[in-house]
Amino acid sequence: MSPAERFYRLACRVVLPHGFVARFGDEMAELAQSRMMAARARGGFAGLGEAARLARDLITARPLTSIPEPPAPQRDNMDILLHDLRFALRALARRPAFTAVAAITLALGIGANTAIFTVVNAVLLRPLPYRNPEQVVVVNGTQGTRGNQGVVYADFVDWRARNTTFAEMGATRGQSVTLTGVDEPARLVGMFVSAGFFRVIDTRTSAGRLFNDAETELGTRAPVAVVQYETWCSRFGADSTVLGRTLTLNGTPFTVVGITAPNSQIPFGAPDVFLPIGYYPNAHGLDRGVRGIGVAARLKPGVSIAAAQADLAAIAKQLESEYPATNAGTGAEVQSLREQLVGGVRERLLIMLGAVALVLLIACANVANLQLTRGAARARELTVRAALGAGRRRIAQQLLTESVVLSGAGALAGLALAFGLTRVLVTLVGPQLPVDAQTIRIDATVLVFTLAVALGTGIVFGMIPAWHSSRADFGDVLRSRSGGSPTRGGVRNTLVVAQLALSLALLASAGLLTRSLMALERVDPGFDGSHLLTAQFRLPGTKYDSPEKIWQMFEQTTDAIRAVPGVESAALVRASPLSGNGESYPVAVDGQPVIRPADAPQVQTNSITAGYFATLRIPLAAGRDFETSDRAGSTPVVIVNKAFAEATWPGESAVGHRIKLGGDDWRTIVGVVGNTKHFSLNEAQLLQAYVPHAQRPQIFTSIAVRVRGDALAMSRPVIEAIRRVDRDQPVWRFRAMDQDLTAVTTSSRTMMWLTALFAVVALLVAAVGIYGVVSYTVSQRTHEVGIRIALGASARGVASLILKQGAVLVAIAVAIGLGASFAGARFLRSQLFGVQPTDAVTLAAVTVILAGVAIAACYIPARRAARVDPVEALRND
């Protein structure tokens, strides 16, 4: 290059904008040179004159101050995107450590979110598998202010006849039935239904037909049965001759008229066999005043739930005046089927989704901080690019592309992780969910969710660094030695404080759930569940058609079990604790004013045999246990629990008083026993009453057996003992009571562990965050620290200087985090037991944990600062 050309180029750079010179400099120099050569060829002073003209030309030229956006936007936007993508990939590949840490952090966050969302999608979002699923509702009974009660069959019949808002109504009652006349008697899960039930949920058949209306009604019932497809395959080997065959169920021959289509989705459980509700076997089970059936219904098109509710309320009013004795205070409530199915788990799932969302947010903050730190290191690169004509918007766009590419990579890895996590989740929580575990899978909705989360994540953590880089004063950057911009420390600190605060809120939730679980596990069920075996059986009503026959069978069975070696004691109980079975009746107390049944206190009532309290080790507080003399014909007796006795006769013995349970006889209290938990461990203490089986024998009962050694190992000898009494009698649901006691806390335990897991991940990510920020400060302040040490500061003093910075951040985060915990506590309240959402001990404990981990994370860079060699630090100048 000639000196003249070099000078011309230099002049161009001085006079004209960088971008313009970058683009046109070469061509301009070429043109200028050809001019000069032509002028020199003319000789004399022509060269000087041309030089003067070129100089004037440069000064008067008025190029635009920035490079115009290229024309033809569409094609070029695509080019820019491709360019940005290629550039992003190169930029990320240049820093494999950063890229790996960021992508793994994001993969964890996105994977956990995808997995939890997969469950949420299957349970809460996916439409139920019925035609117009929004029309399918459940009708529950109400009594006074109590909702969610069973429905009285007679009421159902009247609702069905008089309503104007339902297209179809069906009744259903699940109950196990005994199949005999085969090699081994078996228990089948039966569902007693009206024909309308199938029409509500669009049940189809693979062979034969479903019930017609006449077959299922009480007056015109016919002994027909429909077998569930899956049962037909597993129990009957998909034998086509089953259709038309007779099955002996509960002692009655039923003709199989149909087999359902495969995968028929039956709400309220999957039965083996459907039977007409007219055959519901419990004595008086369908009488007016006796609750217990379930009602599924389909709204007429365009009818709202509220309208249907009002319709039924009007009918209930009519029934109340027609049957004042049984229907006083009885009403109905209409609920969508989905609400009925998922109402119990929705809150837990949403809390879990909230928790993983927080983890993702914390991960985003971390990656944003990593980006910022990297952005500072890249400041020179960006400055050079800006100097070469890249607009601020273009640079921000480029950085954002990098973030989205990064989160895209995180999403891919997260999705892979989610496939595994979903499987783990299904194993953990599947049994607690109201949907078929097989339907919990990653589908298109989940993929769209993951894509949206990835994109959102990329934008959230990419926006902050991009915005900052685009605002940076490039001149400052080029001048500064370190290449960092100190003002960005504020943003970094804010992000770290946010991470720590969110982590604290998560830790607090996990802590509260832990305390709640501990409280739940400390609950005294009121009985000793160890070495206690329970099982259930139901006598066929056709074979045991009188109370005497039933009682005789019960007595022989109890004796046979007691004779088994290894059995310490045995007794019968209609509904064993925590089995889910149980019934409650309004109580009337002799000598106290008569209250309407609807307003009377409900007493959980159980039928037992003598020795039940001893077998379960429930203490007798007053009076006596039942004796063999308490039998049919003798004085009706009852034993109540302490809660009932103290509530009804405070400061006085309950023994000798008389009570009446529902429509039963007046019974004399002969004893008072300890309180027990019946349906769940976190229930408020129930009022309880026990009546002797002998005085009220019912065909369904459970056995409770206290054994020496392993409870479940005794199942076989117990079955054989019962078979010796009746060889056709199936027995089912053998359970070890201590396992039941563990099982009732399972869902609380799962939730606690998941939340704790999320909280620990959040804490670790936040710890990495504060470590990164403090480390960065140390690297920025090496020079200053060097001077301090040179001037005589002690290593200790330097370390505490750095630690102080971390401590301030932690203190701010704790204040905000505690505030967030208080604010968020109401979401948790329904999940807590025996602990307040604002429990001081929990909050103090998690604060100590958070502060401890965070300060420990700061200690590493602080120590590094204390070891700075002043000579080294200052030499870098």
The residues binding another protein (CB under 8 A) are: 16, 20, 23-24, 26-32, 34-35, 53-54, 56-64, 68, 71-72
Do residues 481 and 427 make contact, with C-beta atoms less than 8 angstroms apart?
Answer: no
Measured N-to-C along each axis, helices 489-522 and 795-828 cross at an angle, to the nearest 10 degrees, of 50
178 pairs with which residues across the strands?
187
Q: What's the min distance (Å) between Cβ of 70 and another protein?
A: 9
DSSP string for 183-249: SS-EEEEEEEE-HHHHHHTT--EEEE----HHHHSTTT---EEEE-HHHHHHTTTT-GGGTT-EEEE
Residue 31 or 811: which CB sits closer to another protein?
31
Task: Give strand ranges (E) for 488-646.
Answer: 532-538, 567-573, 583-589, 602-608, 620-623, 637-641
Distance, C-alpha 383 to centroid of its chain: 48
Residue 37 vs 811, nearer CB to another protein:
37
Tell me the pairing of strands 532-538 and 146-149.
unpaired
Taking the C-alpha atoms of residue 449 and residue 493, their distance in angstroms, rounded to an integer, is 31
Round to whole Å and give the CA distance between 620 and 637.
16
Tokens 């009206």 correspond to: 194
User: Could you tell me the smallest distance in angstroms from the CB atom of residue 58 to another protein?
Assistant: 4
Residue 23 or residue 346: which is nearer to another protein going by CB?
23
CA distance 629 to 636: 11
Q: Closest approach of Cβ 61 to another protein, in Å?
A: 3
Query: What is the nearest approach in angstroms of another protein to the Cβ of residue 97?
Result: 39
Q: Are 557 and 871 in contact (CB under 8 A)?
A: no
C-beta of residue 533 within 8 angstroms of C-beta of residue 714: yes
Residues 246 and 254: their CA atoms lie apart, in Å, by 5
Minimum distance from residue 17 beta carbon to another protein (Å): 10
Angle at 645 between CA 641 and CA 649, to 5 degrees: 175
d(CA 304, CA 6): 84
State which residue, 36 or 363, has the beta carbon closest to another protein.
36
Distance (Å, whole) CA 33 – CA 26: 11
CB 529 within 8 A of CB 705: no
Nearer to another protein, 58 or 124 (CB): 58
Exposure b/e, 340-362, CB count within 10 A at least 16 = b: bbbeebeebbebbbbbbbbbbbb
Nearest approach, Cβ of residue 15 and another protein (Å)? 8
Q: What is the DSSP letter of 270?
A: -
* Shortest distance in whole angstroms from residue 76 CB to another protein: 11
Nearer to another protein, 34 or 653 (CB): 34
Q: Which is closer to another protein, CB of 68 or CB of 302? A: 68
- Which residues are registered as beta bridge partners of 607? 691
Closest CB to another protein among 25 and 329? 25
Report the nearest approach of another protein to the CB of residue 2 (Å): 16
Q: How far apart are the first and last CA of the chain?
A: 36
CA atoms of 551 and 520, how far apart (whole Å): 38
Query: Which of residues 71 and 302 has its CB atom nearest to another protein in the complex?
Result: 71
Minimum CB–partner distance for residue 31 and another protein (Å) = 4
CA dihedral 613, 617, 622, 626 (to 10 degrees): 20
CB nearer to another protein: pick between 26 and 524 = 26
CB 424, min distance to another protein, A: 57
Q: Which is nearer to another protein, 72 or 97 (CB)?
A: 72
Looking at beta carbons only, is 133 or 391 nearer to another protein?
391
The sign one gets for the Cα dihedral 141, 146, 149, 151 is negative
Q: Which is nearer to another protein, 68 or 490 (CB)?
A: 68
- Nearer to another protein among residue 26 and residue 665 (C-beta): 26
Separation between Cα atoms, residue 226 and residue 216, nearest integer Å = 12
Task: Give residues with Cβ within 8 angstroms of 172, minimum separation 6.
Answer: 191, 192, 193, 194, 197, 268, 277, 293, 294, 295, 296
**Rounded distance between C-alpha atoms, residue 561 and residue 734, angstroms:** 14
Q: Which is nearer to another protein, 76 or 872 (CB)?
A: 76
Shortest distance, position 23 Cβ to another protein, whole Å: 8
CB of 4 to another protein, least distance (A): 13
Shortest Å, Cβ 21 to another protein: 10
Numbers of helices and strands, H then E, in the chain: 27, 23
Query: Phi/psi at 187 (nearest 5 deg)?
Result: -100, 130
Which residue bears the tokens 């200028």?
32
Nearer to another protein, 23 or 199 (CB): 23
By beta-carbon proximity to another protein, the closer residue of 30 and 436 is 30
- Shortest distance in whole angstroms from residue 390 CB to another protein: 17
Taking CA 236 as the corner, what is the angle to CA 233 and CA 238, rounded to the nearest 5 degrees?
Answer: 45
| Shortest reach from residue 30's CB to another protein, in Å | 6
- Minimum gap (Å) between residue 73 Cβ and another protein: 11
Q: Supply the minimum distance, in Å, between the C-beta of residue 3 and another protein.
A: 18
What is the CA 854 to chain-centroid distance, rounded? Answer: 29
Nearer residue to another protein within complex by CB, 22 or 787: 22
Angle at 699 between CA 588 and CA 695, to 5 degrees: 45
**Please, what is the minimum distance in Å from the beta carbon of residue 78 to another protein?**
17
- Cβ atoms of residues 576 and 607 within 8 Å: no
